[in-house]
Each structure stands twice: as structure tokens, then as C-alpha cells.
Amino acid sequence: MANFHFSTPAGLPRARAFAIPFDGEPGKFNAITDVPGVSVGYTTLISGNGPLEVGHGPVRTGVTAILPRPPADISSPCYAGFFSGNGNGELTGIHLIEEVGAFSLPITITNTHSLGVARDATLKWVAANRPEALASAWGLPVAGETYDGFLNDINGHHLTEAHVFAALEGATVGPIEEGSVGGGTGMSTFEFKAGSGTASRRVSWAGDTYTVGVFVQSNFGKRRNFMIRGRRVGADLAEPRIVQGTPRAEKSSIIVILATEAPLLPHQLKRLARRVPLGIAWTGGLGYNSSGDIFLAFSTANSEAAAGRSGRLASMTSIPDVDIDPFFDATVQAVEEAILNALVANADMTGRDGNFVPALPHDWLRATFGHAA
């Protein structure tokens, strides 16, 4: 049986394959899908080479779908909280989350100029597959974005409703791919190829064990700041460099989705979201001016209370605030590892106008940290 802590389903190495000494205990798949009921799907679009021709390519983009609950229960709300570390980006639906502490329907993440397509296609998919969810109510789905215009024909608007439908319908539980897949296809981090990454941590409390799972679309950071487990490695990794056929604008971002089945209330989930930047900082991310650093945390517990019924008291359970610190630990640890997984499970990529982003060198990782047995 494959050890999915060390490799993705397609056989790409993950950070643990290089004996990087992470903190905490990961879940079975070390993924957001370790949280029961959470599934992830991708549509990846890669085509064309050479000079940019808007509307024709080259194309290096896609969309990621995260279903907080199984499709049959997708309209059931989840308690949630969000935090913006730096607001140069977009995550739809957050005004309602701030108001009522909950959201429903799938989450999608894509490139900046396809955000509206992803959001609207999600509503059409729900209307076609779970029409009762919208029969007497409106939908405000969560959709996030990061910028992939250095490699991708971002103004060509290549993502379609059909691509979003495919990601939603293809969402699976268990181990998932990482790197240049889905919305992360055209992204880079610390001037290395990055994109989609995930990790999880187990937290024991009062005789029960819960999971904190994280998914990142990682597209941020300057090489000089890059750190791995507290070691400043940017100077050691001056090469290989990005090759710019056209000027590279400084447009960096990271979207982080955190899931748990632990019974946490909206204010507690917001507190977890506020700890996400600490995990980013452990890798060298400093939240620069152009970066859209936006984070959503949700819990699949207390579904009946989150839905509410008119005229009836809502009963719920909650871990007390005084015991929340281990969940903060798990958040920071999982965010750090998810970012490194997005970097490690990757390869060089050339996009529009010959723009080139190198992969984090595996030989350097092996020489620096070793190789897992």
C-alpha cells in the first residue's frame, strides 16, 4: 500500500519524502480530506507554448473545488470564520460569514480573472444537482483566487462552467494530488513552481481525536526570505532562477482553507484563521503589499445548530476557549507543511512568452535534509 505521507496518488514526492522534520501528528492521508465528509476535485488546463495570444494561450490554469460536506448534504451550513492577513485579493461570501458565522455550498479556487465564472458555475451546479438548496433561498458560495498571469493567458478567460462542473463532480475523499493542479496550476512560491498543497494534524482532547486539515493555493514570497523548518535557505537556492520573457509583476497571494470536525464555534474558527499567517511566516511569507492573503476556517460539527429552525432553541457543543491552544498548534503546523508540499510535488514549468518558473530542486532537498526510509 502506498504511503501517502511521502507521495501523491500520481507518485509525486511530498515534503516528508525528504525527511523534513515536521511537528505534530498528521492524519491518515495528511490532507484536508482527513476531515470526514470533505472532498476535493480539480480541473487542470495546460495547453500551448510560445508568445502570448490573448484568447488562445498559452494556458496554465484551472480550478479547485472543495466540498465541505458530501454532495447530498452540500446545502447544510458549516460554522465558519475568516481572516484577511493582507486584502489584495478576493474571497466571495465573506460578508455573510462575518455576519452570521456560517456558509454553505462548495468552495472553489481559481485564477483572479476567472473568479466570477467559478462562483456562478457553482450556483448553476447546485441548482442542477441539489435544486432544493436554492428553492426558497439565495446562494452566496465561497470562491477565491490568486494571480497566474506570469505563466497563463489570464485575460483569455479559458475557464468555463463545464470545467467548474467537472471539478465539483470529480471531488473525492482520500489522498489528493498536489502541485501544478487545479487552481494552483500556474502559481509559484518563493520564485519556485508551487500551487496546490495540503496537510493535516490530529488533535486529542478529552478522550476524542479530531483533525485539522488545510488546503493552500500558494502563490507568494520572495526567494531571499524562504525558510524550511526555521532554516534560512533562500541564499543557498539563488539558482535556478525564474526566466522572464516578459516582465514579472509582483502579484503574490495565498488562499488557505482550513477544515475540522472539532466542535468549534464561529469566533473560535476565526481565531484559527488568525493563526494561519504564523504558518506562512514559518516558510518566509511576510504578507507584502501586493499579496492577497485570505483564510477561511470551517467546522463540520453542529450542523443542526448551524442550520437553525425557527421557533426552536439551537443546541450545540463546543470545545472551551481555554483548551483551544492545541488547535492553534495544529493550524500553524499544517499550513507550513501544506505550503512545502505545494513546492515539493512539482516540476519546472514554461508558460506564456517563454516565461519559466523552476521547481524546488529535489537533489538539494535530498542533500540538505536526507531521504525518508
Q: What is the mean predicted confidence (pLDDT) over 126-152?
A: 93
Residue 6 in domain: no
Does 98 score more than 50 pLDDT? yes
Does 249 score more than 90 pLDDT? no
- Select from 206, 211, 230 the least CA-distant residue to 331: 211
Residue 17 in domain: no
CA distances from 202 to 35, 93, 262 (A): 10, 29, 10
Q: Annotated active-site positions, please? A: 253, 291, 293
Q: What Rg value do the Cα atoms of the chain yield, rounded?
A: 19
The residues with which 298 forms a beta bridge, in sequence order, are 80, 259
Which residues fall within 8 angstroms of residue 35, CB to CB, at 6 or more apart? 200, 211, 212, 213, 259, 260, 261, 300
Mean pLDDT, all residues of the chain: 95
Does 232 score more than 50 pLDDT? yes
We report the CATH number of the domain holding residue 352 as 3.60.70.12
CB atoms within 10 A of CB 104: 24
| pLDDT in the model for residue 36 | 98
Q: 221: which 3 cell numbers?
A: 514570497
pLDDT digits (tens, 9 = 90+) for 151-175: 999 999 999 999 999 999 999 999 9
Residue 5 in domain: no
Does 24 score more than 50 pLDDT? yes
Range of the domain at 123: 24-307+314-363
| pLDDT band per the 50, 70, 90 thresholds, residue 250 | low
Taking the model in full, what pTM does it have?
Answer: 0.97
Which residues fall within 8 angstroms of residue 21, CB to CB, at 6 or more apart? 229, 369
The SS3 call for residue 256 is strand
Does 373 score more than 70 pLDDT? no
pLDDT digits (tens, 9 = 90+) for 31-89: 999 999 999 999 999 999 999 999 999 999 999 999 999 999 999 999 999 999 999 99
| pLDDT in the model for residue 258 | 98
Q: How many domains does the chain have?
A: 1
d(CA 184, CA 164): 14
Distance of alpha carbon 58 from its chain centroid, rounded? 24
Does 372 score more than 80 pLDDT? yes
- Select from 108, 22, 29, 33 the least CA-distant residue to 260: 33
Q: 239: which 3 cell numbers?
A: 539558482
Which residues fall within 8 angstroms of residue 367, CB to CB, at 6 or more apart? none
Residue 15 in domain: no
Residue 372 in domain: no
Burial 122-147 (b: 16+ CB within 10 A, else e): bbebbeeebeebeeeeebbbbbbbbb
Q: 132: which 3 cell numbers?
A: 432544493
pLDDT digits (tens, 9 = 90+) for 310-343: 888 888 899 999 999 999 999 999 999 999 999 9
Are 346 and 195 a contacting pair, CB within 8 Å? yes
Residue 181 in domain: yes
Q: What is the mean predicted confidence (pLDDT) over 248-275?
A: 93
Residue 371 in domain: no
| pLDDT in the model for residue 369 | 94
| pLDDT band per the 50, 70, 90 thresholds, residue 283 | very high
The amino acid that residue 42 corresponds to is Y
Does 180 score more than 70 pLDDT? yes
Does 1 score more than 60 pLDDT? no
Please give the DSSP secondary-structure letter assigned to residue 94. H
Residue percentage of the chain with pLDDT more than 70: 98
d(CA 265, CA 230): 32
Q: 199: which 3 cell numbers?
A: 496537510
| pLDDT in the model for residue 309 | 83
Residue 41 in domain: yes
Cα angle: 311, vertex 314, 320; to 5 degrees: 155
Cα angle: 360, vertex 24, 306; to 5 degrees: 105
